[in-house]
Amino acid sequence: MLGIEPFQLHFPFERNKQMSCTLKLTNETDSYIAFNVENTSPLPYCTQPQKGIMLPQSNCNVEITMQLQGKAPGYMHRSNELIVWSAKVNDCLAVEDITTNMFINEADNLVDEVNLDVVFDTSKSLGELSKNTNLQSFVYSIYVQCK
């Protein structure tokens, strides 16, 4: 339903620096599309906003930012970290009216579900990571800015 790029989010891992990448959502239909970004990971993700409504023929950039907070992630490649759900809605629906139930596949409600992976690129900082015993963990912030 929505075009989503990329399916694999790459964060260039560097100690003591915020890292971000952009997820692009594209609605090439003539319909209004509601979306919901859901965290499926035990890692703390924060989504602001978690849901939205895309106008017909519109784009939306999702800026995903990692902030330092404790220790490095246990796995450098994490599968199915986030899910982007989308469904057609009518044009009078407000963002506040979007519920998780809207994204349950039913005969009268077509829902698209896209799983996203996260990869931490550590090419130049892996040696630094192994030397430091007081590493900081990450908090993920997802900021959605729609055009």
Residue with structure tokens 């692009």?
24
What token pair was written down for 40?
A: 């499926």
pLDDT confidence of residue 50: 77
Query: For the chain, where are the E strands, in sequence order?
Result: 3-5, 8-12, 19-27, 32-39, 45-48, 51-54, 58-68, 77-89, 111-121, 138-146
Instruction: Please check the confidence at residue 139 and state whether its pLDDT lies above 50.
Output: no
CATH of 3-146, one of 2.60.40.10, 2.170.270.10, 3.30.420.40, 2.60.40.1120: 2.60.40.10
CB 24 within 8 A of CB 59: yes
pLDDT confidence of residue 26: 96
Taking only the tens place, the pLDDT of each residue in 83-98 is 899 999 989 999 999 9
The whole-model pTM stands at 0.74
pLDDT confidence of residue 138: 39
Residues 68 and 73: their CA atoms lie apart, in Å, by 11
Taking only the tens place, the pLDDT of each residue in 94-134 is 999 998 888 886 667 789 999 988 887 766 444 444 444 33
Taking only the tens place, the pLDDT of each residue in 9-19 is 887 777 777 77
pLDDT confidence of residue 44: 59
Nearest to 5 by CA among 53, 88, 61: 61
pLDDT confidence of residue 107: 61
Taking only the tens place, the pLDDT of each residue in 17-69 is 777 778 899 999 999 999 988 877 766 566 666 789 999 999 998 877 776 54
pLDDT confidence of residue 67: 64
Residues 16 and 53: their CA atoms lie apart, in Å, by 35
Higher pLDDT, 71 or 13: 13
